[in-house]
A and B are shown apart, each in its own frame.
Chain A
Amino acid sequence: TQLLEQSPQFLSIQEGENLTVYCNSSSVFSSLQWYRQEPGEGPVLLVTVVTGGEVKKLKRLTFQFGDARKDSSLHITAAQPGDTGLYLCAGERGSTLGRLYFGRGTQLTVWP
């Protein structure tokens, strides 16, 4: 059983569309991280959120941490083919230092 449930697993959209990826849990996390991974490479950190209700923006990407610190979302506005990749959410819990819990990822494909 995954501690973090990520949805959807696959997303295939046209350039210019908006999308949202969800990361949910019944557990509280001290921080939530989002990574992006391209084929043949390791994940690369996009953002970390640590405060309940926190919203962070990275150009066309908006990340939100739930008020109760149990869930997070990633919203992409006007997706572009360059956004194609595997998006992973991951959380840290204060009770288990050094351990990162990953969701299963969302494979996003943006068609021109």
Chain B
Amino acid sequence: NAGVTQTPKFQVLKTGQSMTLQCAQDMNHEYMSWYRQDPGMGLRLIHYSVGAGITDQGEVPNGYNVSRSTTEDFPLRLLSAAPSQTSVYFCASRRGDSPPSRYGYTFGSGTRLTVV
């Protein structure tokens, strides 16, 4: 099992450029999420999905778009990159079931993005 795969691992963008961070999981997990991690801020939720065709905003969604056309993939699109979006981005997934759930999330190894 590959788990959660994120690509690319590193990226440098110029202000105003757009790009897509890829996330794929092979565990047939219904729930998928995108987080950004900044020093002293912990993990902040950008967007999440509870199944194909269903997405919702987290606490810091501005400047980012997502779509979920398949169970396996959950790409994150940066529309017009800004220096404030310099961060480490993590994708995570878990099996969907009714609460309370003992299933935890599996995280990818992250994408380190720098916007100059």
Contact = CB atoms under 8 A, between A and B. Distances in A.
B101 interface: yes
Interface of B: 4, 30-31, 33, 35, 40-45, 48-50, 56, 58, 90, 92, 96, 99-110
Nearest to A44: B107
Interface of A: 2, 6, 9, 30-31, 33, 35, 40-45, 48, 50-51, 88, 90, 92-94, 97-105
B53 to A, nearest CB: 13
B99 A92 contact: yes
Given A94-B100, A98-B49, A102-B45, 11 more contacts: A6-B42, A31-B100, A31-B102, A41-B109, A43-B107, A44-B107, A45-B106, A50-B101, A97-B31, A97-B50, A99-B33
Contacts, number: 84
B100 A30 contact: yes
A97 B42 contact: no
